[in-house]
Amino acid sequence: MISELSKLDNQAALRALETSGKLIEEITKNLAKQCTDKGAISVAKMDENQLISYGLAWITAEQRIAENFLRYAWDSSIGTSELEKMMAVTFAAEIVSHIRSELIAKPTEFTLTSEKIQSALFINEINSFIENSMKIGIYSAIAEKIVEKGHAGVYGLSDDHESFRETFRKFAEDVVKPHAEHVHRTDDIIPMDIINGLNEMGCFGLCIPESYGGIQSDEKSDNISMLVVTEELSRGSLGIAGSLITRPEIVSKALLKGGTEEQKQKWLGQLASGEIMCAVAVTEPNYGSDVAGMSVVASKVDGGWKINGVKTWCTFAGYAKLLLVLCRTETDPALKHKGLSILLAEKPSFDGHSFDYTQPEGGRIEGKAIGTIGYRGMHSFEVSFQDYFVPDENLVGGEAGRGRGFYLQMEGFSGGRIQTAARANGVMQGAFEAALRYSQERNVFKKPIYDYNLTKYKIARMAMIIQASRQYTNYVGKLLDEHKGQMEATLVKFYASKISEWVCREAMQIHGGMGYAEEYAVSRYFVDSRVFSIFEGAEEVMALRVIAKGLLEEKL
């Protein structure tokens, strides 16, 4: 074992990633040339080979996450040890191995020759690095160190953020988890002690500046606090805790970006205090991520607007008193997404799986919850608007906000996407902890499941993936604090969402038959993980229309 561990080489990992990174860079430049039309990236040309665009997005995500994982593991200032270094090097080996297998399978489509790929990524040094770093003994050693230390890698947070994490971890253990299974199995509503508890802790004001009643500094953004809270609450339950602060995040970001001062003063304080809960109505039955095709219309009337049409997947729309509605306010169809605006529609709060409200003016809103396999508690509604009146003062940005709804919504969604990565990290962490605990308790063939090296391999891989995803999520959070990293937020959402299914699947598999039973929380983690690649932007749309397109545009 010692001889195997001694072969783990940080410099070899860096050189291997540098080589794979250069090839990805060359591919990106070549594809940018192929997909350029009149000086701009042509989506039509990209769509001629969506598989390669998707593949580019995925290997770029893997590459950047692996590079960041190595930087984290060798950052002595945050207290990393041999465990983190072992995980980072082995993760790098896995990523380089996967990237080269993807490229060599489709060299021409990736704009390279097989000879170039082989001469770069299949040389003796890289072959040896991958072989030495991915031996079963390495994975077993990682698993054993996790058990020895009682954790799967330091979080690398500041003292304040670590204290924050511990506070919300305790809340998740003491308040959230006792309700989680009941709500999931019965599709019940979120218990008020969770909402009230989070409100008392200032949770809904995490992304709102102090000057507007929140707890975020007026001088500097602090996305890490939001990510830490989201992850710990999601570890307790995605449906009744982890997603509660997502909607205030999206609505407040849109208001801060483009709302009038009067709107900020009116709504941000109420959101921060939890006086009103909000929901987001963007998706339509026939138009998911195709925002330009949206058909819900707001028609100008005396003193305001009347909304007509149907929105779907409006999470928490029943309980919420305020709906952010992205709708078409401009009649010219040629404007497409530039004809959209945001209206803030007010309504009474309703419990349960349906609601129906008629305004004194005669406008009507009704909603019915959509049955889902997981992500239960908040309920996702299909909402119908029939001449539903919204006053002029609730047009975000006022007259200057007309036609800017798409852009203001994207400001909110970037925060929602990084938050989704944190939610995925929390669900993965919960599943991992459950799997490790069960593997040590369950005996098969007269010894614990944990003692078998295949189980240790799975435990180690889960831990590496979670820590790599977490560290990149936090890195992107810091970029967003500097008003950068919009594309990276989508990239880590894409990665964490997809990989969480594998982690939760393996955690479920370690439980064997009991993993398929609702008696154990791991089955809930598994079905909850499935939603991440769908909401806050479908996986394919994120990969093709945001990540790949953004990568190609950087090369023009």
SS3 content of the chain, % helix, strand, coil (to 5): 65, 15, 25
- pLDDT computed for residue 535 by the predictor: 84
End-to-end CA distance of the chain: 49
For residues 86 and 106, what is the distance between their CA atoms, to the nearest angstrom? 31
Q: For the residues of 338-388, what is the DSSP string, one character each?
A: GGEEEEEEE-----SSEEEEE-TTS-EEEEEEPP-SS--SS-EEEEEEEEE
Q: Which residue has the tokens 């704009």?
A: 111
For residues 385 and 391, what is the distance between their CA atoms, to the nearest angstrom? 15
For residues 2 and 141, what is the distance between their CA atoms, to the nearest angstrom? 10
Q: Distance of CA 3 to CAs 14, 138, 401, Å?
A: 21, 10, 64
Beta bridge partners, 436, equal: none
Q: In order along the chain (556 residues), what is the average pLDDT of each group of 10 residues?
A: 58 96 97 93 93 97 98 94 96 98 96 97 96 95 96 94 94 96 92 92 89 88 92 95 89 92 95 92 75 82 96 94 95 83 96 95 95 90 97 95 88 80 97 97 92 97 98 95 90 97 97 91 95 89 94 92
Fill in the amino acid letter for 408: L
Q: Which element (helix H / strand E) includes 310?
A: strand 304-315
Query: Roughly what angle, to the nearest 10 degrees, separates helices 261-273 and 246-258?
Result: 160
- pLDDT computed for residue 3 by the predictor: 46
- Both tokens assigned to 318: 């029943």
Nearest to 86 by CA among 142, 135, 143: 142
- Both tokens assigned to 226: 């939001």
Q: Which element (helix H / strand E) includes 306?
A: strand 304-315
CATH superfamily of 2-149: Butyryl-CoA Dehydrogenase, subunit A, domain 3 (1.20.140.10)
CB atoms within 10 A of CB 262: 10
536 is catalytic: yes
CB contact at 8 A, 489 and 424: no
- pLDDT computed for residue 51 by the predictor: 95
Q: What is the phi-psi region of residue 403: left when phi exceeds 0, alpha when psi lies from -120 to 50, beta otherwise?
A: left
- pLDDT computed for residue 237 by the predictor: 95
- Both tokens assigned to 7: 């072969």
- pLDDT computed for residue 1 by the predictor: 43
Fill in the amino acid letter for 343: L
Helix (H, G, I), strand (E, B) or coil at 445: coil
Domain ranges of the chain: 2-149, 278-406
Helix (H, G, I), strand (E, B) or coil at 143: helix
For residues 277 and 378, what is the distance between their CA atoms, to the nearest angstrom? 11
- Both tokens assigned to 82: 């041999």
Global confidence as pTM: 0.93
Exactly one of 488, 536, 539, 554 is catalytic; name it.
536
- pLDDT computed for residue 289 by the predictor: 55
Looking at CATH, the fold of the domain delimited by 278-406 is given as Butyryl-CoA Dehydrogenase, subunit A; domain 2 (2.40.110)
Q: pLDDT for 474-529, tens place per residue?
A: 999 999 989 898 899 999 999 999 999 999 999 999 999 999 998 899 999 999 99
- pLDDT computed for residue 292 by the predictor: 61
